Amino acid sequence: MSKSLARVVAALRAAGLEAAPVEAKGEIRTAEAAAADAGVAIDQIVKSILFQGESGRLFLFLTAGGNRVDATRAAALAGEALSRAEVEVVRAVTGFAIGGVAPLGHLTPSPTFLDPRLLDFAEVWAAAGTPRHMFRIAPRDLVQATAARVEDFTL
């Protein structure tokens, strides 16, 4: 098991959750690919999107697969102007490569916001630290495990 995948499993266990990562049939670097692999609607896929504030601080936005983050709304929640975090910064702060960024198990936690659209489902699927692994989870459990604030920040 990779270090990234092990960190996600440990974070799930620390949150008291029994969610188990599954290996995809192929790489799942996009929400579309993840939804097809899991056999679910695209909005049941949790995208972990990181933005960096002017202060250098990162902010994590957990978004339904078919939604996009509205930069203005996201900045209002963060309390500062935001830009997409660079690939190297994402890797350094989370420990995950783009396409496998999990919503939890980051090397350095960031303030986290969750798209209310995800709450419309009994279960959602999120990356488990690699571009080939996902786990399913009840959205309310995800909110609790990540200490996310449920906020409207999408287009």
Supply the pLDDT for residue 115: 98
- Residues β-bridged to residue 61: 49, 113
The answer to whether the CB of 139 falls within 8 A of the CB of 130 is no
pLDDT at 26: 86
* DSSP letters for 19-76: ---EE-SS---SHHHHHHHHTS-GGGEEEEEEEEETTS-EEEEEEETT--B-HHHHHH
Q: Is the dihedral of CA 90, 67, 99, 122 positive or negative?
A: positive
Confidence check: pLDDT of 12 > 90: yes
CATH homologous superfamily, domain 3-150: YbaK/aminoacyl-tRNA synthetase-associated domain (3.90.960.10)
- The Cα–Cα gap between 127 and 113 comes to 16
Which tokens hold the place of 7? 């960190």
d(CA 2, CA 102): 14
pLDDT tens, 81-130? 999 999 999 999 999 998 899 999 999 999 999 999 999 999 999 999 99
- pTM comes to 0.97
Locate the domains of the chain by residue range. Answer: 3-150
pLDDT at 153: 98
